[in-house]
Amino acid sequence: MPGFDVTHPNIKDRVIAKSHLAFSFLTHMPIVPGHTLICPIRCVDTCEELTIEEWKEVLDLKYLVCKALKNAFNSEGFNFAWNIGENAGKTVPHFHLHVVPRKLGDTGILQYEPRVFLYRPGSRAISPSEELRQTAELIRCSL
């Protein structure tokens, strides 16, 4: 399976911020609105393969994204995670840091069911991809 490509049509509309060596974008299966991934532009499988410069830019984007998520969603806290290895749940061979904005009463990690969140039953005015595009725009405006 290939890594994340910032120019790919399925990703570019979900990009929040980009630096010289890293970028952030909304995941297509969010735990809560604003669930963002941050990864280096260069495709590496694990964090141990990152250069110091790439690590710095990933962490700089983490700071920027968290500030924007606080502004956009009134986030009161965050979960950060990365998965190393298939047994840990990793499905894409491109290192990425999950940033999950949290606030009182959200769905929580233990009650998370991505299909229920992404494909809510009943009539919807917008498609999941349009919802993600609009969420990305909201966060970009909060940078």
Kindly state which CATH superfamily the domain 15-141 is placed in: HIT-like (3.30.428.10)
Strands 22-26 and 97-102: unpaired
Confidence of residue 70 (pLDDT cuts 50, 70, 90): very high
**CA pair distance 22, 72, nearest whole angstrom:** 22
Decide: 30 and 46 in contact? Cβ < 8 Å: no
How much is the pTM? 0.82
Q: Is 96 a catalytic residue?
A: yes
Which residue is catalytic, options 8, 28, 35, 96?
Answer: 96
Per-residue pLDDT at 115 exceeds 60 = no
22-40 per-position pLDDT tens digit:
999 999 888 888 999 999 9
Domain boundaries defined on the chain: 15-141
